[in-house]
Chains A and B, each alone.
Chain A
Amino acid sequence: MWFRRLLAFFALLVPLVLLAIAAFLVFYAWPAIHYNGLDFLWRDTWNIGNQYANPVQRHGETVMPGAQFGILFLVAGTLGSALIALLFAFPLGLGAALFLSEAVPHRFGHFVSFFVELLAGIPSVVFGLWGIVFLIPFLSHHVFPILARIFHFIPFLARPIGSGYGLLTSSLVLCLMIVPFITATLRDALRSQSTEMREAGISLGATRFEVATRILLPGQKTALAGATMLAFGRALGETMAVLMVSGNALNYLPHNVYSPISTMAAFIVAQLDSALADPTGMAVRSLAEIAVLLLVISLITNGIARFLIGMLKEHTL
Chain B
Amino acid sequence: MSKLRIHSLVRSPTLAALALAGLCALWPAPSQARTIHLIETGSTLLYPLFNLWVPTYTATHPGIRITTEATGSGTGIAQATANLVQLGASDAYLSPALQHLHPGLLNIPLAISSQMINYNLPGLNNRPLHLSGPVLAAIYAGQIRYWNAPAIRALNPDLPLPHHLILPIHRSDGSGDTFIFTQYLSFSTPAWMKSTGYGTTVSWPSVRGEIGATGNPGMVQALATNPYAIAYIGVSYRSAILKEHLGQAWLKNRAGQFVFLTHANVEAAVASRAPHTPPNQSISLVFAPGANAYPIINYEYVIVKNHQASRHVARAVREFLDWAIAPSGGNAPTFLNRVGFAPLPKLAVLQSQRQIAEIH
Q: Does A279 contact B (CB under 8 A)?
A: yes
Among A53, A165, A277: residue with most chain B CB under 10 A: A277
Within 8 Å CB of B75, what residues of A? 272-273, 276
Q: A160-B209, A274-B199 are in contact. List 8 more A-B contacts (CB 8 A).
A: A51-B200, A52-B96, A52-B198, A54-B96, A248-B173, A260-B212, A262-B172, A274-B201
* Total residue contacts A-B, CB cutoff 8 A: 112
In the assembled complex, the Cα of A223 lies from the Cα of B71 at a distance in Å of 43
A-B contact pairs, 28 of them (CB 8 A): A48-B199, A51-B199, A51-B200, A52-B198, A52-B199, A54-B96, A68-B203, A140-B225, A163-B225, A164-B225, A165-B211, A248-B173, A250-B172, A250-B204, A260-B212, A262-B212, A270-B173, A271-B174, A272-B74, A273-B74, A273-B173, A274-B173, A274-B199, A277-B74, A277-B98, A277-B200, A279-B95, A279-B98
Interface residues of B in 200-226 (CB under 8 A from A): 200-204, 206, 208-209, 211-214, 221-222, 225-226
Let me know if B209 and A273 touch, CB within 8 A.
Answer: no
In angstroms, Cα B221 to Cα A274, docked, is 22
Tell me the B48-74 residues at the A interface (CB within 8 Å): 71-74
In the assembly, what is the distance between CA of A194 and CA of B71, in Å? 56
Q: Is the CB of B97 within 8 A of A251?
A: no
- Whether the pair B211, A273 counts as a contact (CB closer than 8 A) is no
Q: Taking the complex as formed, is A156 at the interface, i.e. its CB lies under 8 A from any CB of chain B? A: no
CB distance from B164 to the nearest CB of A (A): 12
Q: Does B141 contact A (CB under 8 A)?
A: no
Chain A 248-288 per-residue mask, 1 if CB under 8 angstroms from chain B, else 0? 11111000000010100000001111111101100000000
B17 on interface, CB distance cutoff 8 Å = no
Query: Given B71, B97, B172, B213, which contacts A54 in the complex, CB threshold below 8 Å?
Result: B97
Q: Which of chain B's residues have a CB closer than 8 A to the CB of A273?
A: 71-75, 173-174, 200
Bound Cα distance A68, B101 (Å): 22
Given A52-B96, A52-B198: A275 touches B204 (CB 8 Å cut-off):
no
A64 at the interface (CB under 8 A from B): yes
Q: Chain A residues in contact with chain B, CB under 8 A? A: 45-48, 50-55, 64, 66, 68, 132, 137, 140, 160, 162-165, 243-244, 247-252, 260, 262, 270-277, 279-280
A interface footprint on B169-197 (CB within 8 Å = 1, 0 otherwise) = 00011110000000000000000000001
- Give the distance in Å from the alpha carbon of A280 to the alpha carbon of B172 in the complex: 22
A186 to B240, CA, bound (A): 48
Confirm or deny: B77 has a beta carbon within 8 angstroms of a beta carbon on chain A.
yes
Inter-chain CA distance A239–B24, complex, in Å, is 34
List the A side residues contacting B172 at CB < 8 Å. Answer: 247-250, 262, 270
Contact B211 A47 (CB under 8 A): no
Q: Please, how many angstroms separate the alpha-carbon atoms of A160 and B209 in the complex?
A: 8
Give B contacts to A, CB under 8 Å.
71-75, 77-78, 92, 95-98, 100-101, 167, 172-175, 197-204, 206, 208-209, 211-214, 221-222, 225-226
Q: Which of B101, B213, B221 contacts A279 (CB 8 A)?
A: B101
Q: Are A277 and B174 in contact (CB under 8 A)?
A: yes
Q: Note all chain B residues with C-beta closer than 8 A to A51.
A: 95, 97, 199-200
CB distance from A279 to the nearest CB of B (A): 4
A252–B198 CA distance with the chains assembled, in angstroms: 20
Q: Which residues of B contact A251 (CB under 8 A)?
A: 203-204, 206
Pairwise interchain contact B97-A66, C-beta atoms closer than 8 A = no
Looking at the assembled complex, report how far the CB atom of A246 sits from the nearest CB atom of chain B, in whole angstroms. Answer: 9
Please name all residues of chain A whose beta carbon is closer than 8 Å to the beta carbon of B96 when the two chains form the complex.
Answer: 52-54
Contacts of B100 in A (CB 8 A): 279
Picked from A68, A270, A277, the residue with its CB within 8 Å of the CB of B95 is A277
Closest A residue to B97 using CB positions: A279
By the criterion CB–CB under 8 Å, are B200 and A250 in contact? Answer: no
Q: How far is the CB of B178 from chain A (nearest CB, A)?
A: 9
A120 → chain B closest CB, angstroms = 20
User: Are B173 and A52 in touch, CB under 8 angstroms?
Assistant: no
Q: What is the CA–CA distance of A47 and B203 in the complex, to the nearest angstrom?
A: 5
Question: A284: nearest residue on chain B (CB-CB)?
Answer: B78
Contact between B97 and A163 (Cβ–Cβ < 8 Å)?
no
